[in-house]
Amino acid sequence: MPFPYAANRYREFRSRVWEEALPLAREPKRPNFDREPEMELQARWYGGEFGREFVGVDGERIEVVQFGHWNRGAGPDFTDAAVRINGELHGGAIEIDTNVKDWEGHGHGANPEFENVVLHVFADGPALSRFFTRTREHRNVCQVQLPQYAWSQGPPDFLPEAYPGRCVAPLSLMTDDEVESLLLSASQFRLQEKAERLRVMSRATSTEQALFQGIAEALGFYQNRTAMAVLAQRCPVSELGEMNPLEREARLFGAAGFLEQGIFDEALEGQSRRYLRGLWECWWKMRGGIESRPPKKISWKLSGSRPGNHPQRRVGALAALVSQWEALRPVWEQNVNNSVEKVVNNSLNNLRHPFWETRYTVKANPVSGRLTLLGKERQRDILGNVIFPVLIGLEPERWEEFTALKKVNTNHKLRRATLRLFGEDEERQQLFTSYYHQQQGLLQIYRDFCLEDLSECDHCPFPEQLAQWGQSKGRENSIRVSEAA
Ligand code: SF4
Rounded to whole angstroms, the maximal C-alpha distance in the chain is 70
E-strand ranges in 100-214 read 117-124, 142-145
CA of 414 to the centre of ligand 1 (A): 14
Q: Is the pLDDT of residue 481 over 70?
A: no
Instruction: Tell me what the mean pLDDT of segment 54-80 comes to.
Output: 86
What's the pLDDT at 159?
Answer: 33
Residue 466: alpha-carbon gap to chain centroid: 30
Q: Determine whether the shortest distance from the Cβ of 463 to ligand 1 is under 6 A.
A: yes
Amino acid at 4: P
Instruction: Tell me what the mean pLDDT of segment 25-40 comes to.
Output: 52
What's the pLDDT at 429?
Answer: 93
CA of 166 to the centre of ligand 1 (A): 6
Q: Determine whether the shortest distance from the Cβ of 442 to ligand 1 is under 6 A.
A: no
Q: Is the pLDDT of residue 109 over 50?
A: yes
Task: Give the atom of ligand 1 at the shortest distance from the alpha carbon of 449.
Answer: 3
Distance CA 43, CA 261 (A): 27
Instruction: Tell me what the mean pLDDT of segment 168-174 comes to.
Output: 93
Q: How confident is the model at residue 161 (pLDDT cuts 50, 70, 90)?
A: very low
HSE-CB at 203 with a 13 A cutoff on CA atoms is: 12
CA of 450 to the centre of ligand 1 (A): 5
Identify any residues that bridge with 95 across adjacent strands, giving them in sequence order: 120
Q: Which of 17-21, 397-401, 414-418, 437-441 has the lowest mean pLDDT?
A: 17-21
Distance CA 213, CA 50 (A): 15
Instruction: Tell me what the mean pLDDT of segment 357-383 comes to.
Output: 87
Over the stretch 386-399, which tens digit does the pLDDT of each residue have?
Answer: 999 988 988 888 99
Instruction: Tell me what the mean pLDDT of segment 152-170 comes to.
Output: 61
Distance CA 463, CA 70 (A): 47
Task: Give the atom of ligand 1 at the shortest distance from the alpha carbon of 461.
Answer: 2
Straight-line distance from the first to the last Cα atom of the chain, in angstroms, rounded to the nearest whole number: 18
Amino acid at 183: L
Q: How confident is the model at residue 271 (pLDDT cuts 50, 70, 90)?
A: confident
Q: How confident is the model at residue 473 (pLDDT cuts 50, 70, 90)?
A: low
